[in-house]
């Protein structure tokens, strides 16, 4: 009886694993099939290396690649110190009751719909950026990246907190008993043991930042050109897909969104691979 239950449970889990892996493969296949005409004519290379000028019959997505790279990486880079500070506060520095309170707040924040962040961005952040930097409409790379940082910080923070909280109590007690303060506890004992969770949190945040559509659409200004500085407008791959998709299903532009999808797929895979390599040396050390 027990053996049977165990077997069926294993079968269910295995089935779910195959199903989700299969879905990911299927999506890749779908993108490849629809983008096939582009591959066949060898146009894909020119598409990812040229500019977007549909009026002149040019549908290159290079500006969108640059836009995604700029906005997502700036957003993640901004959110790393934020998340780090928040996690340190929650699990090390704040009195226990406040720690629990902040943790609940951050957990709740992970569930706030993106569009709400977008609203806040449009009505508060963009005007602020406009006034403070005297920068046109205020819809630019910086606005989108800042809001993106706010969006991914709760997720990253919760990940970091999980890592920090896994530190064995005996280690913390040892540091306390040896006359160490909280900062030393964090630097010398908690951090080295939490490396995997830190990388995990950054990976997840990077994935979310690259994949986010709404914030970029609402805040980046959507100009299809390569941004030269954070105060310039830009368009991300995701926003481009949304904009083109909404416009016209028959046009030659339409094909280019499959290339965008493929590039996003490639970007996220690369991010995961690179970050996992960073984490690898620590895998054996801490189970």
Partner 1 sequence: MDNKLKISINDLHFSYKDKSVLSGASLRIMENTINAIVGPSGIGKSTFLTTLNRLWDTTSAEMTGKIEIFFHGVPQDIYDPRFPETTLRRKVGMVFQAPNPLPMSIFRNVAFPLKLAGKTSRGETEESVEKALRQAFLWDEVKDRLHKDALLLSGGQQQRLCIARALVLAPEVLLLDEPTSSLDEKAGAVIEELLVELKKNCTMVIVSHYLAQVDRIADTVHELVGGKFVTGRR
Check residue 184 for interaction with partner 1 (CB under 8 A).
yes
Smallest separation (angstroms) from partner 1 to the CB of 287: 11
Residue 283 in the binding site for partner 1 (CB under 8 A): no
Phi/psi at 234 (5° precision): -150, 165
Q: Is 188 in the site for partner 1 (CB under 8 A)?
A: yes
Provide the minimum distance between the beta carbon of 178 and partner 1 in the complex, in angstroms, as a whole number: 5
Q: What is the DSSP string of 179-208?
A: T--HHHIIIIIIHHHHHHHHHHHHHHHHHH
Q: Which of 241, 230, 218 is nearest to 69 (CA)?
A: 230
Residue in 175, 219, 234, 239 binding partner 1, rule: CB under 8 A: 175
- Please give the distance of CA 68 from its chain centroid, rounded to a whole number: 11
Cα separation, 165 vs 185, in Å, equals 12
Number of residues lying near partner 1 (CB under 8 A): 20
96 binds partner 1, rule: CB under 8 A: yes
Position among 4, 5, 19, 170 found at the interface with partner 1 (CB under 8 A):
170
Q: Give yes or no for residue 163 binding partner 1 (CB under 8 A).
A: no
Question: According to the binding rule CB under 8 A, does residue 173 interact with partner 1?
Answer: yes
User: In this complex, which beta carbon is closest to partner 1, that of residue 176 or of residue 229?
Assistant: 176
Task: Please report how close the Cβ of residue 169 comes to partner 1 at its closest, in angstroms.
Answer: 9
Rounded to whole angstroms, what are the CA distances from 68 to 104, 200, 216, 264?
31, 21, 9, 9
Closest CA to 151 of 88, 67, 219: 219
Q: For partner 1, which residue of 42, 57, 95, 281 counts as binding (CB under 8 A)? A: 95
98 binding partner 1? (CB under 8 A): no
Question: C-beta of 88: minimal distance to partner 1 in Å?
Answer: 18
Residue 196: HSE in the Cβ half-sphere, 13 Å Cα cutoff: 14
Q: Is the dihedral of CA 117, 118, 121, 122 positive or negative?
A: negative
Give dist(CA 150, CA 140) in Å, integer: 16
Q: What is the CA radius of gyration of the chain?
A: 22
> Quick one: which of 19, 40, 132, 181 contacts partner 1 (CB under 8 A)?
181
3-state SS class at 284 = coil
10 versus 280: smaller Cβ distance to partner 1: 280
Q: Give min distance, CB of 183 to partner 1, in A.
A: 10
Out of 171, 254, 265, 282, the residue judged to bind partner 1 by CB under 8 A: 171
Q: Residues in the site for partner 1, rule: CB under 8 A?
A: 95-96, 170-171, 173-181, 184, 188-189, 192-193, 285-286
């Amino acid at each position: 009886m027990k053996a049977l239950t165990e077997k069926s449970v294993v079968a269910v889990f295995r089935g779910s694993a195959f199903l989700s892996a299969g879905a990911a493969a299927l999506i890749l296949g779908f993108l490849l099939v629809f983008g096939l005409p582009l591959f066949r004519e060898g146009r894909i290379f020119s598409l990812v290396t040229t500019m977007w000028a549909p009026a002149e019959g040019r549908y290159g997505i290079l500006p969108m690649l640059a836009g995604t790279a700029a906005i997502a990486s700036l957003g993640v880079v901004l959110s790393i110190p934020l998340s780090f500070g928040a996690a340190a506060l929650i699990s090390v520095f704040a009195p226990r009751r406040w720690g629990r309170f902040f943790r609940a707040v951050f957990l709740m924040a992970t569930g706030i719909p993106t569009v709400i962040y977008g609203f806040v961005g449009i009505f508060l952040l963009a005007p602020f950026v406009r006034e403070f930097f005297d920068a046109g409409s205020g819809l630019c790379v910086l606005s989108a990246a800042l809001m993106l940082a706010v969006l991914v910080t709760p997720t990253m923070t919760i990940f970091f907190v999980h890592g920090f909280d896994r530190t064995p109590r005996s280690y913390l007690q040892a540091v306390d008993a040896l006359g160490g303060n909280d900062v030393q506890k964090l630097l010398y004992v908690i951090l080295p043991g939490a490396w995997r969770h830190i990388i995990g949190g950054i990976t997840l945040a990077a994935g979310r930042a690259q994949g986010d559509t709404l914030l970029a659409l609402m805040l980046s200004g959507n100009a299809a050109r390569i941004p030269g500085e954070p105060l310039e407008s830009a368009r991300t791959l995701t926003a481009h897909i949304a904009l083109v998709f909404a416009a016209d299903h028959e046009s030659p532009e339409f094909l280019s969104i499959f290339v965008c999808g493929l590039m996003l797929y490639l970007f996220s895979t690369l991010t995961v691979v690179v970050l996992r390599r960073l984490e690898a040396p620590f895998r054996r050390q801490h189970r």
